[in-house]
Amino acid sequence: MNAAEIARDVSARRVSAAEVTAATLARVQAVDGDVGAYLTLLGEIARSSAARVDERIAAGEHLALAGVPIALKDNMCLEGARTTCASKILEHWIAPYTATAVARLLEAGAIPIGKANCDEFAMGSSCENSALGVTRNPYDLARVPGGSSGGSAAAVAAGEAAIGLGSDTGGSIREPAAFCNLVGFKPTYGRVSRYGLIAFASSLDQIGPLARSVEDAALAYDIMAGYDPMDATSLDRPVERTADSLRADLAGLRVGIVREFDTKALGERSDALYREAYRDLERLGAELVDVSLPTADYGLATYYLIAPAECSSNLARFDGVRYGLRVEGADVRAMYDNTRAAGFGPEVKRRILIGTHALSSGYYDAYYVRAQKARTLIARDFERAFAQCDLIACPAASCPAFVFAAKSDPYSMYLMDYYTIPMSLAGLPALSVPCGWTVPEGGNLPLPIGLQLCAPLFGEKLLLGAAAAYERATNHALAHPAQIGTVPA
């Protein structure tokens, strides 16, 4: 059952939230030893939350997410629960408050099942950078689930939650969604409060849902979105409801195909699937339009200056003094050094060093300032493209899910976000929706890939509506490798 179905049944009292929660926890017990989606299971909190939901339903309350089990990425605070960012430096930290996005879902009747694994401090594209656990792709346990929101994606794909909450800085919701045959949605920057999200890069981080259907993603977004005075970057602008506005076709829409995003570079099989996806958009009534993003190729370099610079600033607070791990030393400086050396993993250290260098005297103008100027040019290119089209379609990831340790050098891993980073730099809403299956080179099992759709700022209603039409027409999200008779050539 998807989230909307669960909520309808619990609201109608055909099943109780307690029963849904018990079944979900039993499912976690049965499969998570293999999948490894969760770092912390919230059994007691889940059961008490379910009891409260059943009481509220009995009292006549309407709850949009009544009894819906959710997985929370472990960089989001939940009062009284361990919140680690998958890092040794916060391994035993208990959050004293709840993130606004999480609180809004719980108020709507959602049940928190557990804190999901991720790349440490959300820095990664495979979930391999976690210091506290290994998460595997439910479709092929020898492969990664994508990152950084890999635990949330794996939990939903494996039936251990109906909705996963993730954060997307450069593609960390969309890429794991593509790897796990899910819908992964990053709203416009500032649409969903970041209060209670432990920051990686403050001008890029955005919370969003991972779900098995566009309807579920829209349902979760409608509840989370809206102004929050606790977040200085939250936008005080009315939010259009999206779950009631899903489309049946794409008639009248112009969909931009980006000239610079040549899918032939992805290999023959992936190229064929994306070309078929574009034809599906056309069959649904869309007009395909050629658009150009001439500065998109600079997105990777721009992102890997801005994001590490903000990471260097944000992670300075983890010093062993106020909270988290402390490793003693001969003096305060030695304690700082010892704590950060022991507490941070290799990728986090790498990004701190890159960011600190980019912000340092003599290099600030050459690197950080120039990157911000490039970011402005990328945003302007999108504005020009959207003058010619209503939506943009392109790949959501550079390849299907890969085997563990296949991308051992940083550059090949960073390239995974090539197609998602430009949208993040421009603050645009974007999502990944399942668009087919392919057998990767050297693989045996068919694996899912995702189509990325992107809209102008505040275009969530249009974006989710179009994605729903594509989803209903193609039914890729309902497919499973065992049900696929032929694998696309």
Q: Is 481 helix (H, G, I), strand (E, B) or coil?
A: helix
Q: Which two tokens stand for residue 146?
A: 């994508």
The one catalytic residue in 16, 87, 149, 172 is: 172
φ and ψ at residue 373, rounded to 5 degrees = -65, -40
The one catalytic residue in 126, 148, 149, 424 is: 148
Cα separation, 202 vs 172, in Å, equals 14
Active site residue 152: no
Cα separation, 3 vs 311, in Å, equals 34
Whose tokens are 């309407």? That residue is 62
In degrees, to the nearest 5, what angle opens at C-alpha 450 toward C-alphas 446 and 455? 175
Instruction: Report strand pairing: 163-168 vs 38-41.
Output: unpaired
Cα separation, 7 vs 173, in Å, equals 23
| Residues 6+ away with beta carbon under 8 Å from 162 | 1, 2, 3, 6, 68, 69, 70, 156, 211, 212, 216
Active site residue 73: yes
Cα separation, 112 vs 72, in Å, equals 7
Cβ atoms of 460 and 428 within 8 Å: the answer is no
Active site residue 48: no
State whether the Cα torsion 392-228-44-86 is positive or negative.
Answer: positive
The one catalytic residue in 11, 16, 49, 73 is: 73
- Name the strand (E) or helix (H) holding 435: strand 430-438
Cβ atoms of 461 and 242 within 8 Å: the answer is yes
Q: Taking Cα atoms as reference points, which of 142, 144, 192, 145 lies closest to residue 167? A: 192
Cβ atoms of 468 and 214 within 8 Å: the answer is yes
Give the active site residues. 73, 148, 172
